[in-house]
Amino acid sequence: MNVLDTIESVTGYRVSGVHAGLKKNRALDFALIVSDKPCVMAGVFTTNRVKAAPVLWNMERFERNPDGIRALAINTVSANACTGEHGMFNARRMAEMVAEQTKTMPHQVLVMSTGVIGQPLPMDKIASGAELAAQALGDYWHEAATAIMTTDTRPKLASVQVESRLGKYTIAGIAKGSGMIAPNMATMLTAMVTDVQLSPQVAQAALTVATNSSFNRIVVDGDTSTNDMAVMLANGASGIELSTEEDIAEFQHALLALSTHLAQKVVRDGEGVTKFITLRVQSAADDACAIKIARAIATSPLVKTAFFGQDANWGRIIAAAGRAGVPFDADRARLWFVAGDSPQYPGLLLFENGQPTDYAEGDAGRIMEASDIAVTLECNLGAGVTTIWTCDLSHDYVTINGDYRT
């Protein structure tokens, strides 16, 4: 599936990204997506027990109006999380402001917020953003992706065109995220759209499957945010309706490709990241065990700092696997490193039979110098498999997060 790092246009959608005064230096800080016709909505939301007001607002829209969404607005700087009843009032007012500017109804508007927890929304600037963004609507996907950035260093957008037996349709998405990344539902903020027609049930099932194998398989630092959510809108403007199992499977494949591409972009742009690591856990007791082992490794500060220091300290990986709380037997495990995702996979064998192999330290060191590294842990306990994308932990991560509010 050919995923493009651009979005030309998606039938029936208009988008914009503007400066509403939330950020300094005239930086874009407010994004708006509007559909010409009502959309079916699918959504996955943070499992953090502390949920931001916009998450709660969107969850309510999902329950009450899953096939009537017209607009999605996203602000930066304030997460509108831990802001009490006033935060819920402001989330609703943001939807009302957007509805007024886009000639829709508040219950047809989704809102997303990203930024500092506990900081109220500056509603005068939100009002300005809604007005300016509505006036600027067009095929401005790059601007929209730029406008939702926080500590991100570059916008994240992508699209897939599907040449189906029924005709051509598009799936596209923008995402933001750089730190506070270990999603347990989705990834920070992701908004995806398609011009194909889907039922609410098919849309939700497709997004759930895609999320579980993409956004739920990335780690930057081990934190699950209060604001994490991924939303997909389907407006049917292409005139193509998916009804057969084959057509739906083709859509699912394309959506997964897009979601994986966006998810990997988040890791590659992680705060202070210098290494992109593909971590495969194979032959665990079952898939659930494979995921727990992979997450224990991917979130380990000792593992992540070793990759930053280009130290092939395989012992930290084996130790992390052993504390994952699931069956693991070091005497049966094998561990490989390889630079990139090369055809030489699985690569250099560092550990088996409960002890290190006679590998050359220089060979391991050269692999650790690469910017992309693949790690494979074979457990030899069952059929469980998973892949997680993670990264190193550098001095810059501490610097960025040490004074995030100031």
How confident is the model over 175-189, as pLDDT tens digits? 998 665 666 655 579
Token duo for residue 324: 């994952």
d(CA 248, CA 371): 36
d(CA 1, CA 8): 17
336-361 burial code (b ≥16 CB/10 A, e <16)? bbbbbeeeeebbbbbbbeeeeeebee
Average pLDDT over residues 7-33: 97
Which of the following is catalytic: 187, 190, 211, 386?
Answer: 187
How confident is the model over 129-184, as pLDDT tens digits? 999 999 999 999 999 999 999 889 999 999 999 999 999 999 999 999 866 566 66
Confidence label for 401 from pLDDT (cuts 50, 70 and 90): confident
Residues 292, 297, 362, CA angle at the centre, nearest 5°?
145
**Range from 95-99, 225-229, 336-340 that averages highest in pLDDT:** 95-99
Instruction: For the chain, give the mean pLDDT.
Output: 94
What ranges do the domains of the chain cover? Answer: 13-268, 276-402
Tell me whether residue 150 is one of the annotated catalytic residues. Answer: no
pLDDT for res 368: 96
How confident is the model over 218-238, as pLDDT tens digits? 998 777 789 999 999 999 999
d(CA 183, CA 48): 9
Closest to 182 measured CA to CA, from 94, 288, 297, 78: 297
CA dihedral 62, 63, 67, 69 (to 10 degrees): -40
pLDDT for res 342: 63
d(CA 301, CA 297): 9
DSSP H helical ranges for 26-71: 53-64
d(CA 406, CA 389): 30
- Which residues, other chains included, contact 270 with Cβ-Cβ below 8 Å and sequence gap of 6+? 178, 179, 181, 220, 221, 391, 397
- At 39, the amino acid letter reads C
pLDDT for res 140: 98
Confidence label for 243 from pLDDT (cuts 50, 70 and 90): confident
For domain 13-268, give the fold: L-amino peptidase D-ALA esterase/amidase (3.60.70)
Residue whose structure tokens are 């692999």: 367
CATH number of 276-402: 3.10.20.340
Confidence label for 404 from pLDDT (cuts 50, 70 and 90): low
Q: What is the largest CA-CA distance in the chain?
A: 69
Q: Do residues 313 and 348 lie in contact, with contact meaning Cβ atoms separated by under 8 Å? A: no
Confidence label for 42 from pLDDT (cuts 50, 70 and 90): very high
Q: Alpha-carbon Rg of the chain, whole angstroms?
A: 22
pLDDT for res 185: 59
Query: What does the DSSP assignment read for 168-211?
Result: EEEEEEEEE-SSS---SSS-SEEEEEESSB--HHHHHHHHHHHH
pLDDT for res 39: 98
Q: Do residues 142 and 165 lie in contact, with contact meaning Cβ atoms separated by under 8 Å? A: no
CA distances from 109 to 9, 13, 227, 268 (A): 21, 14, 17, 31
Token duo for residue 229: 């959510």
**How many CB atoms within 10 Å of residue 376?**
19
